[in-house]
Structure formats: C-alpha cells, structure tokens
Amino acid sequence: MSKELIKLIQSINQTNSNTEIEKGVTLSDGLAQRDVLKIKHNIYSELAKAATVTHDRYSKSEVRFISTIKVAEIQKTADKLAKEHRELDSMIQEVNWKTELIS
C-alpha cells in the first residue's frame, strides 16, 4: 500500500508541475499562491476582528475605547484577499477537472 501511495503522490506532483492554470503559471504555483492568499486573508480578518471595539459603556464617565488602526481598510483588504482566493481556487478546480493524472 505505501508503494501505491508514493506512486500516487508522485503522479499528482508531476501533474501539478506540468499543468498550467494560465500562461506561465503551473498548478503547483497556483496551489502555493492560494495557500498564501488564505493565510494573508486569515491574518487580516483576525486583525480586523481584534481591532473592532465592541466594549459596552453603561455611562458617559466610563473609559471609551478607540481603535488605533483603520478597521474598515483592514477589512477591505481582507475582503480583497478573500475574492482573489475564491477566483484562484475556481481556476484550480476547473483545471483539476479537465486534467488527466500523469502516470
């Protein structure tokens, strides 16, 4: 079984390295770009979430919290990264459906 698994993984890697999702961009490159976009999106989303001030004030004398970063800009960047991730993921899925595994 392990020999079969090794052969399958090698075939997948070879296919990904030889298949282009667009001119000059291999499937392997696209997968790496997709992973980085996902990581960056998560970072920006978590930053926006953490920077959003949601402290309930019960009186005007209580300390008011103010965000030190522009949450709207951070969220806009997170949304842009999410869109790029979705578009790239769709391209990858389309190519995967159309590509035969190299054996």
For the chain of 103 residues, list the mean pLDDT of each consecutive stretch of 10.
94 96 96 98 96 72 75 96 98 96 89
CA distance 8 to 30: 20
CB 15 within 8 A of CB 101: yes
Domain residue ranges of the chain, discontinuous segments joined by + = 27-54+67-96
pTM, entire model? 0.82
CA distance 74 to 52: 11
Q: What ranges make up the beta strands (E) of the chain?
A: 20-22, 25-26
Phi, psi for 66 (deg, rounded to 5): -125, 130
Total residue count of the chain as it appears in this document:
103
Residues 15-30: pLDDT tens digits? 999 999 999 999 999 9
